[in-house]
Chains A and B, each alone.
Chain A
Amino acid sequence: MTPPALQARTEGLVTAELTVAAGEVVAVVGPNGAGKSTLLRALAGLPGPARAAVAIDGEPVGTRPPHLRRVGYVPQDGALFPHLSAARNVAYGLRGRGLSRREQRAAAHDWLTRLGLGELAARRPGQLSGGQQQRVALARALAPEPRLLLLDEPLAALDVETRAAVRHTLRSHLGPYDGVCLIVTHDPVDALSLAGRMLVVESGVIVQDASAAEVTRAPRSAWVARMLGLNAYEGDGTDDGVRLADGHVLVGADPAPRGRVLVTVHPDHVTLYRDPPGGTARNAWHGTITEVTGTGTRLRVAVHGSDGPDVVAEVTAAAAAELGLGEGLGVWIGVKATGVGLTAL
């Protein structure tokens, strides 16, 4: 049996155990300061508040210094060497593998061409746009063919259009990549489109490690649920339903599990009324609209609950016009029991 491509156990500020198969792309998500970057640095062997015992293809590398691990690491801003041309940046990691200078240069050009940057090989990083820099950084990390590739928010610093283009580049190169790739991200689109698996980190602990589909279906942390655009509340399961910290009780279609429970409500399942709703909605409370943001025919309406939790509702523009929704307006909030997701924590 071949050993897994990556086996790691970290200790220190982040405690995590991780086994990843070859070719797998894992999105590492979580709130700021959760320890995502710390986890990556520990795996790369870089100084930081956590250390890791790491085995790559069954071979322990945890005691080796970073430069002997064959781990590609791309920090947030790419960190291209400003004093070297794009080609020399990419060639930097090709030293010491028995290649002649000419072969190193040819390989670097090859990688740049593959990422669509062939003409820019002679440019210095200062003469490249943000998206181009990020692609050069990616080429530089991929060129030495690392077994483990660590990308720390590779798209965070880019504008929306460039982000989509670089995301496309990433996806087309991570597909055939047969090593292990970990991507730290804040963006659900990045996580879902690039990775098949999600690692949710909060306060230095892995709170969920599952396929992207599973995390979307049943998130196990309020932060991830909100990242995915859901309303999320934590509470305690009782006979009547889930009691939130403010005393309000939310009821689902199924009996609530005992202990800590995560309640998720899709914004589609939240209905807004001008008058108190009738019997159809099991959960109803009152609130004031704080913000209305629009995307095309759908509007997102944020409501501050006066005798219940805050909530985000998604309504059609037509419905919003009919109800006369606007900031400062008092509304009734209704959520059907079938729209309430309950997950035991």
Chain B
Amino acid sequence: MLVWSRSGRAFVWALFALVFTPVVLGPLAMLVIAAFAGDWNGVLPSTWTTEHFRDATDGTNLDSVVVSIQTALLAAGIALVVGTWTAIAARNAPRPVRRIADAVLHLPVAVPSVVVGLGMLVAFSDGPLLLNGTKWIVIAAHAVLVVAFAYATVSAGLDRTDQAFADVAASLGASPLRVLFRVRLPMLLPSLSAAASLALALSMGEVGATIMVYPADWRTLPVSVFTLTDRGKVLLGSAVTLTLLLATLILLTVVGLLRGKVEDRRSH
């Protein structure tokens, strides 16, 4: 424990509450209030309504929910496969190769997401690979942006799983493929599920690159929120944000449940 005295601990908690309440809790509470607000002229709304929330889960806004979830699942899936593969391959590669892989995979985090979006736009607006105007440019942009986090999370997990396990598995007659699927990946499961959650959450909230590249028929939730508030529809925007939060929460819960299920199944 860092702070031992009773009064000291009370002070630290008070300080934490003082910072946490206005910075994190306040905006979230206001968002929920705004989503259900009818008229809002005073400190708090004078009338309440579920109209915005109904609008937010209806028509084009509902489409946005579906688009966001699909984008997140595809981008996270791609990022997870590419990130895990690169992390495992890089670990066994010679040092210079590993450093280059490290640098390249971390690049998307280092540059602003707008730059990634613009780069995608320039690269894929003409042949040979024409993605601009399709949903695939959004998915590709998201995959590029989240692959760094998948790679970093899996690499960190790999450092802890010793080469000894793979050696022993091989001495027990397991082919490299079987070692990968029955030893290495199962031992990496906590990292894989963490990487998946992180990738999903980041993709659900991505706006910087998406706004540069999205076509009319593939508008993600954060872009909807942005355009709505831009047009002054703050209350509807709040309601859409609430659906975004709910959708993200459901996705992450599903990932957690899946992980639990896999762990249960193979323990016997």
Contacts and interface: CB of A to CB of B under 8 A. Distances in A.
Interface in A41-86: 41, 44, 46, 65-75, 77, 79, 81-85
A67 B174 contact: yes
Contact of B266 (A66, A73, A83, A96): A83
Given A93-B173, A122-B268, A83 B186 contact: yes
Contacts, number: 74
Given A83-B189, A122-B268, A73 B171 contact: yes
Interface of B: 162, 164-165, 167-176, 178-179, 182-183, 186-187, 189, 263, 266-268
24 contacts: A44-B167, A65-B170, A66-B170, A66-B171, A67-B173, A67-B176, A68-B173, A72-B171, A73-B167, A73-B171, A75-B167, A75-B168, A79-B168, A83-B189, A84-B267, A92-B169, A92-B172, A92-B174, A93-B173, A96-B173, A122-B268, A144-B172, A144-B173, A146-B171
Contacts of A65: 170, 176
Given A83-B186, A85-B267, A75 B164 contact: yes
Interface of A: 41, 44, 46, 65-75, 77, 79, 81-85, 92-93, 95-96, 122, 124, 140-141, 144, 146, 150
Given A44-B171, A85-B267, A144-B173, 14 more contacts: A66-B167, A66-B171, A67-B172, A67-B173, A67-B175, A70-B173, A73-B167, A75-B168, A79-B165, A82-B187, A83-B187, A84-B266, A84-B267, A144-B172
Contact of B167 (A70, A79, A93, A144): A79
Nearest to A73: B171
Contacts of B174: 67, 92-93, 95
A67 B162 CA distance: 18
A81 B162 contact: no
A95 B173 contact: yes
Q: Which of B162, B165, B173, B268 has the most C-beta atoms of chain A within 10 angstroms of its own C-beta?
A: B173
Nearest to A69: B171
Nearest to A75: B164
B134 to A, nearest CB: 41
B167 A81 contact: no
Nearest to A95: B173
Contacts of B165: 79, 81
B168 A73 contact: yes
A69, A79, A83 — most chain B CB neighbours (10 Å): A83
A141 B172 CA distance: 7
Nearest to B162: A79
Contact of B268 (A70, A75, A81, A85): A85
Nearest to B186: A83
Nearest to B183: A81
Nearest to B167: A46
A84 B169 CA distance: 13
Contacts of B175: 67
Contacts of A85: 267-268
A77 B266 contact: no
A255 B260 CA distance: 76
A92 B173 CA distance: 9
A141 B186 CA distance: 21
Contacts of B162: 79
A64 to B, nearest CB: 11
Of all A-B residue pairs in the complex, the 4 with the closest CB atoms, nearest first, are: A93-B172, A73-B171, A66-B170, A79-B164
